[in-house]
Chain A
Amino acid sequence: MIRLENLTVQLKPFTLSGINLEVQRGEYFIILGPTGAGKTLLLETIAGLRKSDAGSIFINDVDVTRMEPERRRIGFVYQDYALFPHLSVKDNIIFGLKCRRVPKTDIADKLKRLTELLNIGPLLGRKPETLSGGEKQKVSLARALSTDPDVVLLDEPISALDPQQRESIQNDLKDICKKLNRTFIHVTHNFEEAVALGDGMAVLSDGRLVQSGTPEDIFRHPNSELVAKFAMTRNIFSGSVTDDGYGGAIFTVANNKLEVVTELRGQLHASIRPEDILISKDMLVSSARNSIKGKITHVDDRGATRYITVSTPIQFVCLVTRRSHEELGLAEGSEAYITFKASAVHVF
């Protein structure tokens, strides 16, 4: 469990001000913010790598605000992993245990368990520079977990990975958080990561926490322009993915069944960009696999473009130009079809 009370850090000309936050044990918490919002500064302050100017940090109800980083029981994973280049994978992982003078047999035990947990046995003898991004990520996580931290801090841990590795690491992260029952705080600028991973989340903008809650709540009722803009530019649904019987996949959300392209199965999320959705008066016959009838409930005029909300009754937002909107006569209250390709749906 970790609690921040009115935490303030000044790093001229930037200020992280009045951060209040509480994250429970076993919770996977996301801090979402754009570049320059102060995410890394916040994590480094929690870790004790930077001095705070006001406020307090409690880990398991112990005030650690003035404690040295090595005594705080936290683990840290940097975006580019920060593995020690002069040490082998094994020596990277057991670095902390050696510094703490843990007995040799315990070190061997711990190493064995971590290698099994992250499935990195074959990497132990290698040097960091020979590892792929995903492998480095796992080693970095193993190293952070080696000292049994109460809180694991992850600074953009999967941003540098390619999309395929990202999906599998994303699942690993959440699994490990739950399996070990640790508090994870993960900062990112990626909204989809936030939705997919966060039990809870907070939005950091310009050094302030502007909103916190569950990802669902925040995206339904955004109170910051940052999130509102994102919510406006994505249709995000939670649902389940199953086989369609033809080798493809079906994403079910309420009464809608969407054809999607993904290898993933289970409770997941899907997003569709408004500009990828076609809107028409009549049903379209085309190669696009998803065509749904609905009713136009709202038209948001943005000058040259318009965001049209279609209720099926699940709400889809579509982006059209003013001319299309006027020529098609898509008034509020009228019926319309929305059409999009299976490949336009991103499942995560």
Chain B
Amino acid sequence: MIKNTFQYLHQRRLTLTFLLIGMVILLFIFIPLGRMIFSSNPSVLWNTLLDKEVRDSIWLSIYTALIATAFGLFFGVPLAYFLARHSFPGKRLVEALIDVPIVVPHIAAGIALLFVFGKNYFGGKAFDAIGIGFRDAAPGIIIAMIFVSVPFLINSAKQGFEDVDERLEKVARTLGASPWQTFFKISLPLARRSIFGGTVMMWARSISEFGAVLVLTSHPSIAPILVYDRLVEHGLEYALPVASLLIIITLVIFVVLRYFAYGSKKQ
């Protein structure tokens, strides 16, 4: 019996070793998050929630991220489909370019945006003419969010479209479907999980954006900027509950969305 157990462990040593190593990184993620959430006093959290400035900033974060993601869907999905179905010289360069916002420091990304959408630059002037200002306004937040987080959506959707067997689209065409019908009835439904996954990622990444938004518009404050302000001005004690609240709210939304995205995977 003991020998058997030993043999079993021996055979599984790769699995066990990797599991142990994996536990380290899992704890590394969980412990700081857990400590922050649980070290907040519930009554303090409640009081923080009653703070209008906090509520406004969290709400601002959520809805600007939603709008950013909507733009991401509208512009990103067609590009993803195009990239998944066509090859052309320089395609790799384009794909690398899409990843650039992920790899550059986000402060730098914010400065780059400022050079286009700032009041004195052509993008800013053009939008100013139709009454949309980016400096210190919600559109500025949204622009910054789109820039740094749309790559997640594009890449995920592209992968989803690549996984759709091209012959399904071909059969649809022979059956009488136009290219548009084929896209909406075959390609899009079959890639929907990846697109949805990418959408959730983009939205989450938008909510957590700090650097690029800070450069473009520090007022009105999205939640991460409020946390930073309180940390700098009043200290950890005041920043902590806001940070905890932000994490709890986004976690809840995240879990619910993931449930819808992957919960019914078996069907």
Is A34's beta carbon under 8 Å from chain B? no
Is A82's beta carbon under 8 Å from chain B? yes
State the Cβ distance, A69 to closest chain B Cβ, in Å: 4
Q: What residues of A have a CB within 8 angstroms of the CB of B247 in the complex?
A: none
Tell me whether B173 and A49 are in contact (CB under 8 A): yes
Q: What residues of B have a CB within 8 angstroms of the CB of A74 in the complex?
A: 174
The answer to whether A76 and B171 touch (CB under 8 A), given A85-B190, A86-B189, A86-B190, is yes
State the Cβ distance, B174 to closest chain A Cβ, in Å: 4
Tell me whether A44 and B177 are in contact (CB under 8 A): no
The answer to whether A95 and B175 touch (CB under 8 A), given A84-B186, A85-B190, A86-B189, is yes
The answer to whether A84 and B170 touch (CB under 8 A), given A70-B175, A96-B177, A147-B175, is no
Chain B binding surface SS class: helix
Q: What residues of A have a CB within 8 angstroms of the CB of B165 in the complex?
A: 82
State the Cβ distance, B264 to closest chain A Cβ, in Å: 13
Is B178's beta carbon under 8 Å from chain A? yes
The answer to whether A143 and B175 touch (CB under 8 A), given A49-B170, A76-B170, is yes
Is B168's beta carbon under 8 Å from chain A? yes
Give Cα distance in the complex from A82 to B172, angstroms.
10
Chain B CB count within 10 A is highest, among A74, A75, A76, for: A76
- Which of B168, B170, B177, B189 touches A99 (beta carbons < 8 Å)? B177
Query: CB within 8 Å of A: which of B169-197?
Result: 170-178, 181, 185-186, 189-190
Q: What residues of A have a CB within 8 angstroms of the CB of B190 in the complex?
A: 84-86
Query: CB within 8 Å of B: which of A70-102?
Result: 70, 72, 74-76, 78, 82, 84-86, 95-96, 99-100
Q: Which residue of B lies closest to A70 (CB)?
A: B176
Is A47's beta carbon under 8 Å from chain B? yes
Tell me whether B174 and A76 are in contact (CB under 8 A): yes
Give Cα distance in the complex from A96 to B170, angstroms.
12
State the Cβ distance, A83 to closest chain B Cβ, in Å: 8
Tell me whether B185 and A82 are in contact (CB under 8 A): no
Give Cα distance in the complex from A274 to B177, angstroms.
50
Q: Which residue of A lies closest to B172 (CB)?
A: A95
Q: Which residue of B lies closest to A86 (CB)?
A: B189
Give Cα distance in the complex from A49 to B173, angstroms.
8
Is A312's beta carbon under 8 Å from chain B? no
Count the A-B residue pairs with Cβ separation under 8 angstroms: how many?
Answer: 65
Is A137's beta carbon under 8 Å from chain B? no
Tell me whether B178 and A70 are in contact (CB under 8 A): yes
The 8 A CB mask of A9-21 against B (1 = contact, 0 = none) is 0000000000000
Tell me whether A96 and B175 are in contact (CB under 8 A): yes
Query: CB within 8 Å of B: which of A120-167?
Result: 143-144, 146-147
Q: What residues of A have a CB within 8 angstroms of the CB of B172 in the complex?
A: 84, 95, 99
Q: What residues of B have a CB within 8 angstroms of the CB of A72 in the complex?
A: 174
Tell me whether A96 and B186 are in contact (CB under 8 A): no
Tell me whether B171 and A78 are in contact (CB under 8 A): yes
State the Cβ distance, A327 to closest chain B Cβ, in Å: 56
Q: What residues of A have a CB within 8 angstroms of the CB of B170 in the complex?
A: 44, 47, 49, 69, 76, 82
Q: What residues of A have a CB within 8 angstroms of the CB of B86 in the complex?
A: none
Is B167's beta carbon under 8 Å from chain A? yes
Give Cα distance in the complex from A143 to B174, angstroms.
10
Give Cα distance in the complex from A85 to B173, angstroms.
16
The answer to whether A99 and B185 touch (CB under 8 A), given A47-B174, A70-B176, A75-B174, is yes
Q: Which residue of A lies closest to B186 (CB)?
A: A84
Tell me whether B185 and A69 are in contact (CB under 8 A): no
Tell me whether A100 and B176 are in contact (CB under 8 A): yes
Chain B CB count within 10 A is highest, among A72, A75, A85, for: A85
Tell me whether B181 and A99 are in contact (CB under 8 A): yes
Q: What residues of B have a CB within 8 angstroms of the CB of A100 in the complex?
A: 176
The answer to whether A95 and B168 touch (CB under 8 A), given A84-B186, A86-B189, is no
The 8 A CB mask of B181-222 against A (1 = contact, 0 = none) is 100011001100000000000000000000000000000000
State the Cβ distance, A183 to closest chain B Cβ, in Å: 15
Q: What residues of B have a CB within 8 angstroms of the CB of A68 in the complex?
A: 173, 178
- Which of A44, A47, A99 touches B176 (beta carbons < 8 Å)? A99
Tell me whether A69 and B168 are in contact (CB under 8 A): no
Tell me whether B171 and A70 are in contact (CB under 8 A): no
State the Cβ distance, A338 to closest chain B Cβ, in Å: 47
Give Cα distance in the complex from A146 to B177, angstroms.
13
Give Cα distance in the complex from A48 to B171, angstroms.
11
Q: What residues of A have a CB within 8 angstroms of the CB of B177 in the complex?
A: 70, 95-96, 99
Q: Which residues of A contact B (CB under 8 A)?
A: 44, 47-49, 68-70, 72, 74-76, 78, 82, 84-86, 95-96, 99-100, 143-144, 146-147
The 8 A-B residue pairs with the shortest CB-CB distance in the complex, in nearest-first order: A96-B175, A69-B173, A76-B174, A99-B177, A82-B167, A100-B176, A99-B176, A70-B176
21 A-B pairs with CB atoms under 8 Å apart are A47-B173, A48-B173, A68-B178, A69-B173, A69-B174, A70-B173, A70-B176, A70-B177, A70-B178, A82-B165, A82-B167, A82-B170, A84-B171, A84-B172, A85-B168, A95-B172, A95-B177, A99-B172, A99-B176, A99-B177, A143-B171
Other A-B contacts than A72-B174, A82-B168, A146-B175, 8 sampled, CB-CB below 8 A, are A47-B174, A48-B173, A69-B174, A75-B175, A76-B170, A84-B168, A85-B168, A143-B175
Q: Which residues of B contact A (CB under 8 A)?
A: 165, 167-168, 170-178, 181, 185-186, 189-190
